[in-house]
Amino acid sequence: MDSLQSILSNKDYDEPPEITSIKKYVLAEFGVVVGVQVRERDIIIAVPSAALANTLRLRGPDIKRRCQLDKRLTFRIG
């Protein structure tokens, strides 16, 4: 049986490329750090303000194109 340490040492902790590209896009365009969660059918982007959520919602097609996404984008304020 493997020890917990050996199991965790072999785990890959890198973020999926979708998360990295969305975070870089928002940081470069708006200077804000956002939270990103990838699910089976969509990607949730957690933003600190309603104004930013609305702006990102309007830029949704551009975000999908530049970050090469095929999932639906969902914006969460909080």
Structural tokens at position 36: 């990103």
pLDDT in tens, 14-44: 888 999 999 999 999 999 999 999 999 999 9
Across the range 45-63, mean pLDDT stands at 97
* pLDDT of 1: 64
* pLDDT of 34: 97
- DSSP letter, residue 31: -
Report the mean per-residue pLDDT for the chain.
92
Q: What percent of the chain has pLDDT over 70?
A: 99
How sure is the predictor about 11, in pLDDT bands with cuts at 50, 70 and 90? Answer: confident
